[in-house]
Structure 1
Amino acid sequence: MSSLLYIKASPRGERSHSLAVAEAFVEAYRDAHPGVSITEKNLFTDDMPPFDGPTIQAKYNVLHGRDHTLAEKAAWDAVVRIIDEFRGHDRYLFAVPMWNFAIPYPLKHYIDLLVQPGLTFGMTEEGGYYGMLEGKKAAIMYARGGQYAPGTQAEAFNHQSPYLEMILGFMGITDVHPVAVEGTLFGPDVRDPARKAAMEQARTLAATL
Structure 2
Amino acid sequence: LLYILASPRGESSQSNLLAEAFIEEKRASDSELVVSTLDLWKADLPEFDGDKAAAKMTFFGVGDMDDGLKTEWTRIEEIAAQFMDADHIVFAVPMWNGGVPYKLKQYIDIITQPGLLFGFSPEQGYFGLLENKKASVFYTSGVFFPGAEAKYGSDFHSTYVSWWLNMIGISNIESVCLQPSLVTSDPEQDFQSALSKAKNLAL
TM-score range, shorter chain: over 0.9
Question: Whole-Å Cα distance in 1 between the matches of residues 103 and 123 of structure 2?
Answer: 34
Offset of residue 129 of structure 1: 1.9
1:167 aligns with 2:193: no
User: Cα RMSD over matched residues?
Assistant: 1.7
Question: Whole-Å Cα distance in 2 between the matches of residues 34 and 125 of structure 1?
Answer: 46
1:110 aligns with 107
1:122 aligns with 2:114: no
Normalised TM-score (structure 2): 0.93
2:98 aligns with 101
Question: Whole-Å Cα distance in 1 between the matches of residues 78 and 87 of structure 2?
Answer: 17
2:192 aligns with 196
Conserved 8 A contact 1:134-1:174: no
Offset of residue 183 of structure 1: 2.3
1:87 aligns with 2:84: yes
Question: Whole-Å Cα distance in 2 between the matches of residues 101 and 156 of structure 1?
Answer: 6
1:22 aligns with 2:22: no
| DSSP 3-state at the match of 2:186 | helix
Question: Whole-Å Cα distance in 1 between the matches of residues 85 and 156 of structure 2?
Answer: 28
| DSSP 3-state at the match of 1:126 | coil
- What residue identity is the alignment partner of 1:28? E
The count of residues paired between Structure 1 and Structure 2 equals 202
Normalised TM-score (structure 1): 0.91
What does the per-residue CA deviation read over 1:55-107, in whole Å, with 9 as the maximum and x for residues that have no partner? 00000012217532232111111111111111111101000000001000000
Q: How does 1:37-56 map to 2 (within 5 A)?
A: 37-56=34-53
- What residue identity is the alignment partner of 1:195? F
Question: Whole-Å Cα distance in 1 between the matches of residues 139 and 178 of structure 2?
Answer: 6
Conserved 8 A contact 2:144-2:155: no
| DSSP 3-state at the match of 2:31 | coil
Question: Whole-Å Cα distance in 1 between the matches of residues 4 and 39 of structure 2?
Answer: 6
Structure 1 residue ranges without an equivalent (≥5): none
What does the per-residue CA deviation read over 1:135-166, in whole Å, with 9 as the maximum and x for residues that have no partner? 210000111001422x4435870110000110
Question: Whole-Å Cα distance in 2 between the matches of residues 72 and 96 of structure 1?
Answer: 32
1:142 to 139, 142, 150: 139
